[in-house]
Structures are given as structure tokens and as C-alpha cells.
Structure 1
């Protein structure tokens, strides 16, 4: 996985304080009650700091969502691509289909008119998939490319999460993983 470039020094402290304030206030008051002045007071910064850096509340919520959706660790190595992908897909679906996951997805999609935040979330998934595919290739397994896995696993899950949430089971995730690797010699 590529390292995430993060701001350093005061900028990093401000970002951390503001993100923490958003998460705490959402837990305490609920999302509808959030305001920039309330977040600023909790974070110990001025509202103008938040407006200058994030522009508005939606962009701030989107930034918090993207940070939350960033994986903390590489995907587990189960010794075979299909096993790796099954495990990852089941975990991905569980996290993203949860009420908090859906809220973060919506926030990521709504923030920033240029789509950078949604693109960053897509890059996280692509990096995780790339890690699994690289390990499989090192073991001599035939593998699909990243875009094939995105199209066959991530895209259908995200569509279902956002628009047709019925049937989002672990079995669904496992089936998508199986279908993603069929024809690449990795279906045992």
C-alpha cells in the first residue's frame, strides 16, 4: 500500500482535534445538531480555521468520513488469493453496510465538488486489492487485475449498499469474491 501523505505539525494537530470533535459531537448530540461553531469550540480552534480549511460543514464531514474509511492495516494474508479476497470482501461489506458505514459513504460522496474524497475512498479499496493481488502473484497464482476486482466485488457491493440494501449477507460477499477470480486459476 502507498503511504498516506499527512500534514505535519500544527496542521496535523488541528486536523486531529477537529476530527475528534466531530466524532465526539456526533456521538453525543447526533449529526443534525452539528455546527461549525460547536465543532470549533470543542476542538479549541476558531470557526474561521475550520471554514478556511474545509469550507463548510459538509466538506468537513466528508474529510472525517474519508479518514474513517482509510484502512489501518493491510488485508490479512490467508495464503491464497481466493481466501484473501473472501475475507476482505466479507469485512468490507460488514463495515460499509453498517449504519455508520453508510453514513460515512454518504458523507464522502457529498463532500467536495471535484470528487476527490470519493476518489480517495476508491483508492483505499484499490490499494487493498493491489496488495492481495501482488501477494498472490508472488506465490505464482494467476490473478485478475485491480479493475476487474473493483468491477466484480466493490462496485456491486457499493451499489447494493447505497440503493438496494436487501440481501447484503456474508454469502453475497463470498460469492462476489468467487466470481471475481473465476477463470484465473484461483478458485480452489
Structure 2
């Protein structure tokens, strides 16, 4: 049932737009009653939040570029690109708006942490020194998410690269910044 409802939401959002969605419309497309949706999700916003969290889950493991700086930089650039797109921002908003207990936000955070963990484990297996997952979350993911949500102007791949460089360069110097 969950899969059919999620599919109905995605299809209808593509056909009529997210703002035109209603629970009865989704229920009809999914072949369930509106009361089934209300019992399972509570309201439309919670349903949209659930669908958004599912859409924010990465499809594949991060690519291996052979070294921690390259792996983490490529991941940060891709994360920024996906999350700062119009659809990425809409999914983030939906995930947070229909999340009264914080579980969906935590799941989104867990997806990023899992991806980072893969990158760090690969680097450790190659004998590279690595920061901890939470350090990467605090110094790369958190600033990216803040900027995506609140200060998107001028946000680009160079910013993501600078965060990774700042994390991995023990002197804390960023490219182009005087010592």
C-alpha cells in the first residue's frame, strides 16, 4: 500500500503539480480510501514528507575516486547539486514540514552519514587518515544544508570544495585565502 500511495503522489505531482495534490486524488490513483491515507499518514503534509524522505535516499554508494580528498569533494559537489536544485529544495521542505517528531529529518541526516561512512571506510582501508563521520557532518554537510536553505545565492561547487579543503587541510587554509 505504501508503495502504491508513494507512486500515486509522484505521478500526480508530475501531472498536476505538487500544490494541486489532495488526499482524495492520491487515494483514487493509489486504489485506497482517503481514510486509509489519513490513518497511515495523518494529513497530506505528513504524506508528502514521507515521500520526500524516500526520494532523498541515495540510489547508489558514492563513487570511489581513489583518495579521500577526491572522494569527499566529488560527494559534496554532487550532494550540493542535488539538494540545491529546485526539486531538491522542495523535497527538503516537504521532509521538514510534515515531520512533527523529527524522525524524517533524522532519516535524511542518516542517509548523508551513511554515504560519508562509506567514503571514510574506503579511505581507512587505503591507509589514509580520516576525520570522523560527525566531523564531516558538522564541517561539510551542515554548512551546505544551511546555505541551501537560507543563503543559496552564490552557492556553487567551489564552496563545497572549500569546505572539504578546510576540513582536510590541517592548517585550515582555504584555496585563495591568505595564511
Identify the range of structure 1 (173-182 vs 98-107) with the bigger mean alpha-carbon deviation: 173-182
Question: Structure 2 stretches of 5 or more lacking a match?
Answer: 172-179
CA offset at residue 172 of structure 1? 1.1
- Given the alignment of the two structures, is residue 63 of structure 1 paired with residue 50 of structure 2, yes or no? yes
- Moved >6 Å (runs of 4+): none
Matched, 1:91 2:78: yes
For residue 183 of structure 1, report the CA deviation from its aligned partner: 2.2
User: Which residue in the other structure is 2:115 paired with?
Assistant: 128
Unpaired stretches in structure 1, ≥5 consecutive residues: 1-13
Alpha-carbon shift at residue 112 of structure 1 (Å): 2.4
- Does the alignment pair 1:172 with 2:159? yes
Q: RMSD value over aligned CA atoms?
A: 1.1
Match 2:102 to one of 102, 115, 119: 115
TM-score (norm 2): 0.93
1:4 matched to which residue of 2?
none
1:133-152 → structure 2 map (5 Å cutoff): 133-152=120-139
Partner of 1:17: 4
2:136 alignment partner, SS class: helix
Report how many residues are paired.
171
Structure 1 Cα separation of the partners of residues 167 and 135 of structure 2:
7
- The 5 A counterparts of 1:94-105 are 94-105=81-92
